[in-house]
């Protein structure tokens, strides 16, 4: 499967788009729709909207591939899109090793599993991030009921 246009809108609404670099909640230099890496820092040149979209679409394939590889049961499009967003935000390794994937593949109860990934590290401690909690709840609603309407403010 591939992420749908609605899934792309869903993910982009949570990522937001900054054409100039900024530090995210964890202090990681970020640009575009959540792009990170050694080539992004405080002195990185601004991007155009087209460049930000191009980087997003280039990365999308890796997250689509991860969801397709990790999930062993049939999915509805909206479920795929929810897992794509989860992987895009947290990374393919987090998806692959998550209890969420284990429960999806085994048909287990998913109640509250998305919300296990709602924390950031502040001063050496894990604390709940309101933004991540909102995103996890939106992914849960999308996965369980197909509700694309819960997006970032």
Nearest to 15 by CA among 33, 30, 27: 33
Comparing 121 with 138, the larger pLDDT belongs to 138
pLDDT for residue 112: 82
- Do residues 86 and 139 make contact, with C-beta atoms less than 8 angstroms apart? yes
**What global pTM score does this model have?**
0.90
Segments making up each domain of the chain, as ranges = 5-145
- CATH code for the domain defined by 5-145: 1.10.530.40
pLDDT digits (tens, 9 = 90+) for 59-78: 999 999 999 999 999 999 99
pLDDT at 26: 78
Q: Does position 10 have pLDDT exceeding 80, yes or no?
A: yes
Residues assigned a catalytic role: 15
Closest alpha carbon to 81 in 7, 152, 15, 144 = 7
Instruction: Give tens-digit pLDDT for 33-67.
Output: 999 989 999 999 999 999 999 999 999 999 999 99
């Amino acid at each position: 499967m591939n992420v749908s246009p609605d899934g792309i809108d869903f993910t982009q609404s949570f990522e937001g788009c900054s054409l100039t670099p900024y530090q995210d909640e964890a202090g990681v230099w970020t640009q575009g729709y959540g792009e990170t890496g050694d080539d992004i820092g405080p002195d990185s040149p601004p991007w155009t909207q087209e460049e930000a979209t191009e980087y997003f679409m280039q990365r999308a394939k890796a997250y689509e591939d991860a969801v397709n590889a990790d999930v062993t049961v049939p999915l509805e499009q909206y479920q795929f899109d929810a897992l794509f967003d989860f992987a895009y935000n947290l990374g393919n390794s987090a998806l692959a090793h998550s209890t969420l994937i284990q429960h999806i593949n085994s048909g287990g109860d998913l109640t509250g599993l998305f919300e296990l990934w709602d924390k950031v590290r502040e001063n050496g401690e894990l604390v709940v991030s309101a933004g991540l909690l909102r995103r996890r709840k939106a992914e849960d609603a999308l996965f369980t009921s197909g509700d694309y309407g819960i997006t970032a403010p």
